[in-house]
Structure formats: C-alpha cells, structure tokens
Amino acid sequence: MQRCLYRAECREGGIPELFFQSRLPLLNERMEMLDISRLSVFQKGNELFLYYECGGERHEPERLFADGEELLKVWPGGQQPRWWVPMMDIFHYQQPVSRQHWKRTQQESTPFGRVALLKPEQVSSYIYYHYQYQEERPGDGDKYGIIGLHENLLFFYAELPSTVEPAPYAGKLATNLRPDQWGEVMDPHFMKWMDAPADQEIWKKLTIVLNVPVPAGKKESE
C-alpha cells in the first residue's frame, strides 16, 4: 500500500469540478485497473491537491488523468511533461502494514484537507519535530492523517470522523522528547495566511472537488 500526495496549478478559466466529473467513468476504470482507491482532489484558488492510495505499485497521476493539460499548467522539471508534482510524506500518524490493517471501519468517513506555509528557514526544524513525534507516538491521532511537503507548502490530509486506534507496530525512536506545549513550539514555524478567517490563519481549509472512495463496481474488501 502506497500513499500519494500531489499538487497542481489550474490554467486560467479552468473549472476543476466540470473537468473531473466529465472524466469520472474513465477515472473509475483506470483506478480499478491500477488498484487505486481513496482518491480525493481539493482546491484553493487556482491550486489543486490530490491524494490517493495505490494497493501495489505506485502510479503517477498522469496515468489517471491522461489529458491533464486541458485543465492544468505544465509543471517545470522532469523528463516528460507533468501536470502534478509530488509532495513528500513528512509526517503520518500511522503507516499501512497490510490491506486488512488499512481497511476503513467507518464507511461514511469524509476526506478533509488543509494547507499551511512554513517559513523557509524553519522547514528543517518542522520536519525534525514531526519525525520525532511520528516515531515516538505512532497512532497518536487520526489513523489516516498525513502531511505532505513541496517547497515550503504543507498539505494535510485526514478523514472525518477521525479514526484513533493503536498502531500495530512500534516507532523507530525509544525517546520521549516530543514537546508537551506542541502548539507553542509549532507556531513560530508558520507564515500566516493574510486572506483567511481568524481560525484559519495558519491552516487554511481546502474545498473538496472530487471524492472517489473506491472505483465503481469494486468493494473495499477486494
């Protein structure tokens, strides 16, 4: 099981909802063929954020959305044109160890996404503290919560209601150094959004534009 996070930028005048809905039948076919599930797309302005899970081999988004150039700008870099750029997993409350472990018990769970900006000089500190937290206390929050990083932008994916349960493995650290005053330690790491509501100055909520829990015709237990 591999978890994939990406970001992209829409072309001027692009309407993500129309683009994805018109391609939903083909997307379902490709998800089933490639063993992909739990696909969600979120939006903030002209930016898009993508999350999905590969049951086996990792597959790039271009295999799911082959005509992405109709909606998205080409992202610089790479040997082939790409419309989605990968985000690095820098924190997760749990990692999947098997299909059975990762199967959802709350079938009505809803994907939830939000984004934050790190001060460039604080990126390494943020990763340090989160790796410490992740490996000292696996299972401490929503089982499906994960944070991706690209440049200094963070994308947090989770599901509501939260699933909190013990992890079936021990972390890699035997220390207990995670700061108790977590919020106070984290606050100086962030750049604040100037156009956000008062309760979203650090973590801005995203709008979900597509949610495909499992391909049509396929059960999650398969």
Residue-wise pLDDT tens digits, 185-214: 999 999 999 988 989 999 999 999 999 998
Q: What is the band of 71 on the pLDDT scale with cuts at 50, 70, 90?
A: very high
Distance between CA 103 and CA 174 in Å, rounded? Answer: 28
Say what the pLDDT of residue 220 is.
59
Better-scored residue on pLDDT, 219 or 208? 208
Residue-wise pLDDT tens digits, 111-155: 999 999 999 999 999 999 999 999 999 999 999 999 999 999 999
Q: What is the band of 66 on the pLDDT scale with cuts at 50, 70, 90?
A: confident
For residues 99 and 38, is the Cβ–Cβ distance under 8 A? no
Residue-wise pLDDT tens digits, 7-50: 999 999 889 999 999 999 999 999 999 999 999 999 999 999 99
Q: What is the band of 105 on the pLDDT scale with cuts at 50, 70, 90?
A: confident
Query: Is the pLDDT reported for residue 221 higher than 60?
Result: no
Backbone angles phi, psi at 199, to 5 degrees: -90, 5
125 contacts: CB under 8 Å, gap ≥ 6: 189
Does residue 161 have a cis bond before it (omega within 30 degrees)?
yes
90 contacts: CB under 8 Å, gap ≥ 6: 126, 127, 130, 131, 147, 148, 149
Q: What is the band of 219 on the pLDDT scale with cuts at 50, 70, 90?
A: low
Better-scored residue on pLDDT, 69 or 114? 114
* CATH architecture observed for domain 2-212: 2-Layer Sandwich (3.30)
Half-sphere exposure in the Cβ direction for 193 (13 Å, CA)? 18
Strand bridging mode 207-212 / 88-92: unpaired
Closest CA to 42 of 176, 166, 153: 153
Average pLDDT over residues 106-111: 86
